[in-house]
Amino acid sequence: MSLSPVAPVSARRRGLLALAGLLPFTPALAADERPLQIVGPWEITGLQPAQSGFVFSRLQVAETLVGADDRGALRPALAVRWQAAADGLTWRFELRPGARFHDGSPVNAAAVLRSLQPARVAPGLLSNAPILAMETEGDTTLRIRLKERHAALPALLAHPSTLVLAPAAFDAAGRVQALIGSGPYRLTRLQPPQQAETVVFEGWNGGPLPQIRRVAYLAAGRAETRALMIESGQADLAYGLDPASLQRLRQRPALRVQSVMLPRTVFLKLNAGLPALADVRVRRALSLLVDRAGIARALLRDPALAATQLLPPSLGDWHDPSLAPLRHDPAAAQQLLAQAGWRRGADGRLQDARGQALALQLRTFPDRPELPPLATALQAQWRQAGIALEVAVGNAGDIPLGHRDGRLQIGLGARNYASTPDPVGTLRQDFGPGGGDWGAMGWQHADVGIALDTLARLGPEAPRAAELRRRVVAVLQDELPVIPVSWYRQQLAVGARVDGVMLDPLELSYRLDAMRWRA
């Protein structure tokens, strides 16, 4: 099948496409000769799974021991079965027979053990597990011994930071030097931070070989660029699109827009170590000043996305409909600020008893296109209350960096609370002692820490699990170490050449192996 020539684009549009590095474009190639072109906002920031494992997981270049279905139920991946001993202190993971890495070496227990050792070090999520030792039992079984029960262990082994790589992928110091996985696609070209290309791995034995033979991924920072690429035919799949572009793309008969609610929340991360933000009355006031309904309606163009609590309904047991919803009430906010000692000065700005203005800096990033406009809206909403908010748009890494060096005041980001199928792993990372890069900063609560530790130890079906989950979400709603703004809907534009596209609500995979070229 030949492709018709691309419609002419304006000089401005051509400039944007050139920025993506894809001009000139050759439309005469047959569909099976051209790769499936994916464009998204997520840069490839390195080879370490803790940094960019999500990219290689989605591209199906590397696998984890455990996978998950759309509902978050665990399913086999590189491990075909797993079981805990009666005391819960020893787990055995049996590997898929005959699996091989892309360099031809076998996926055996020794290779898996070698690969998982770095994941035990922060920021790898496996660092949260109380692991005593990891050992091999022959070639086909990995044994993990724990210091205490930890029912969430298999869910942690579905996280992209635990990708299993070949022994040859590591240098002598244990750092990844080449991305050699075992998935249905193998890397043929990698040019961080923007580009990756893959081809079907003929030795994959985890299912039927994919019908689409070649795939290319491009990280393009501007949502407008991504939209223009899918419009012009230079991309087959475009992720991370802004509401205005989506509205336009829906009018194009040749394109399809798919969407799915994600277990992801857009939120404000607050440095509660700062004197002003240490006062829970100020945090509650800042939340009351957020017009979530207006933001969802005007900016996101989806009223259902206004967050009433941190964890969205898609997380099932972790969403508590009985909680009093977060609301917009500027008058109540002003009362709380006054109680906390903040009064308006002659210039209309809030100041404390010493005349120090309530001035804060918010950091955000454009990888998710809705974030900078949201930051501007929050700036305007808080200005009306006398709060000076400086907005700094930089890189996604600025927020974790600011958490670690203590300089972050407020960060506007988005967090996937099901990056492991059991959210307790992510929540422990974010709200346990010391907080986390995308969670609490300068705040902790004994009840939350104890409840999350208990849930991780006993599992989601334990007798008191529902009570413990309710306690966690109630404290987060009351104390507001992070302020929820909106829930999240993933939007994907699909080009005319491809069928079989299915969005993964957990964002673990692009599901390329299910796609096919349209007849």
**Both structure tokens of 207:** 């299912």
Q: Please say whether the beta carbons of 269 and 411 come within 8 A.
A: yes
pLDDT, residue 24, reads 38
Residues 6+ away with beta carbon under 8 Å from 516: 211, 212, 498, 499, 500
pLDDT, residue 461, reads 85
- Strand 90-95 versus strand 79-84 pairing type: antiparallel
pLDDT, residue 462, reads 85
DSSP at 365: -
Residues 6+ away with beta carbon under 8 Å from 35: 197, 214, 215, 216
pLDDT, residue 447, reads 97
Ramachandran angles phi, psi of 351, nearest 5°: -145, 155
Residues 6+ away with beta carbon under 8 Å from 242: 223, 224, 227, 369, 370
- Strand 359-364 versus strand 410-416 pairing type: parallel
Q: Which residues pair with 95 in a beta bridge?
A: 79
**Both structure tokens of 383:** 């200005």
182 burial class (0-12, 13-18, 19+ CB within 10 angstroms)? buried
Beta strand segments in 366-420, E: 388-393, 410-416
Q: State the DSSP H helix or E strand holding residue 373, giving kind and residue range, or none if neither.
A: helix 371-383
pLDDT, residue 387, reads 98
Angle, to 10 degrees, between the axis of helix 446-458 and the axis of helix 424-431? 150
Residues 6+ away with beta carbon under 8 Å from 148: 89, 130, 457
The pLDDT tens digits for 81-104 are: 999 999 999 999 999 999 999 999
Q: Which residues pair with 197 in a beta bridge?
A: 189, 216
Which domains are delineated in the chain?
11-61+183-255+495-517 (3.40.190.10), 66-169 (3.90.76.10), 262-489 (3.10.105.10)
Q: Helices in 236-339 by DSSP H: which ranges?
A: 243-249, 275-278, 280-288, 292-298, 330-339
Question: Is-cis flag, bond preceding 24, omega within 30?
Answer: yes
pLDDT, residue 125, reads 84
Q: Please say whether the beta carbons of 276 and 469 come within 8 A.
A: no
Q: Is the dihedral of CA 467, 473, 477, 480 positive or negative?
A: positive
Q: Please say whether the beta carbons of 143 and 87 come within 8 A.
A: no
pLDDT, residue 71, reads 87
C-alpha separations of 509 from 57, 62, 265, 367 in Å: 6, 10, 19, 19
**Local mean pLDDT, 10-residue blocks, the chain (519 residues):** 34 46 45 86 93 96 97 95 97 99 98 96 87 98 98 95 97 94 98 98 97 98 94 97 93 96 97 98 99 97 97 94 98 98 95 96 94 97 98 95 97 93 92 94 97 93 93 99 97 97 95 95
**Both structure tokens of 186:** 């193998």
pLDDT, residue 31, reads 52
The pLDDT tens digits for 244-280 are: 999 999 999 999 999 999 999 999 999 999 999 999 9
